[in-house]
A and B are shown apart, each in its own frame.
Chain A
Amino acid sequence: MLAKLQKFWIKLRGKDKRYDLPLNRSSGTGFVVWVMSMMVYLATIIVALFFALSAVTARWTDGLALQATLEIPSSDLSGMSKDKQKDAFDKLIARLNGIDTIDSAQKLSQEEMDALIAPWLGIDNVSKEIPLPALVAITLNAELTDTDIKAINNNATEFFANASLDTHKKWLEDMQSLVQSIRFVVLGLGLIIIVTAISSVSGAARSRLAIHRDEVHLLHIMGADDAYIASQFERQSGHLSMVAGGTGFLLAIITLACAALIGSGVKEALLPDYSLSALQWFALVFVPIIGVLVAMVSARITVMRALKKLP
């Protein structure tokens, strides 16, 4: 394996920087580097976006799958004194905590309610001025069955006629469906980037082949086979895409770091935690590497195909 990697590296680097064909002097080399670096930049951002979406979905699923909220509308509370409310909540909580599938049930305090609505309505005690429902946060030890939901609702309506249980299931399903759609869009964009990169590399290889037709003919006369000639284009494509990949990747990392920095200021309030894991950051390194491989293989296949058509 190590020997194979070493061989690949030597092939990519070349014994020296010599090409039998003057490929480094071809016009348009800078353009290819620019296009490839933009492709790697976009691909890195898109892969990071894909990872972030996966992380968000996982957190939502993990965080909400064993959570439920019992909502008591303000209309149920308006006719009750504070003491009666407290008594009813204490009994309801005790009843809920007695159910097997429930780990714990707890009424959200005024401070917790304020913290929840603060991102939208500010922190000026507006919760006291507007009629808000009371919420009971329920932590489960297993996913609720329909029977469980019915039992909880029956218990709750004994104390508050219009109490209803929200398992977040519908919302979670909607969000997951939305994230899935975004994922497909991201994958589609990724595919477009790959196809564009392949087209650019192939186009550049074809034009360089046309520019150096005489030199290629000379190599053929000297007995160079198609693979030998194609390897020159492959190696040069590898060099260019390494420069382009490095540049594009660096720019993408800077962009992502800036986005993470900006996001860290607001995510607590509005955005879910979308930070990437160490493994995901490491995985991003493979984007430019894959870019280099795609460029090399595309150049080789393009040149081999074109050479086969020669007499």
Chain B
Amino acid sequence: MEIAFYTAAIVAVAATMRVITCANAVHALLYLITSLLAVAVVFYALGAPFAAALEVIVYAGAIMVLFVFVVMMLNFNAETTQRERSWLAPRLWAGPGVLGLVLLGVVAVALGGVESGAHIDGTPLNAREIGMQMFGPYVLVVELAAFVLLAALVVAAHLGREERPPDHVKTAREGRNARKS
């Protein structure tokens, strides 16, 4: 299980790097999907098959499809790819990159100093336990997430509503039309 974990982790990191450096938007999204799949394998290796399956179904299978959907509509061509590549000039990313590496070093040192005693053994956690946890100690978080989703749903319904003129406008227009004819 450790081999699976580290392999998947390396794949995830490498794929994410390619997401940033890839000039073609759809190819970048494909790397992102690969990265999410690798994260799912990481979850599985850590003994969370339920989370792994949800990662694939929700993130890789649904949300990323919408991303691809939108990017496909944007009509990228060789020209935009070229422009994207010109934006990836080293003088643009060298500074932030170095600073980011410093931060990464700090985090690595900080994490390395902590002895948590955790190890990867792949003991699976089944769906029943997750359910008990979610609707037990974490019920408030679940409900909050539900609120957010409900709000999103209301907004989507509002945005997708058919545009109709208010009643008084309609009656005025009808009167005008009646006079005309």
A and B together in one complex: no
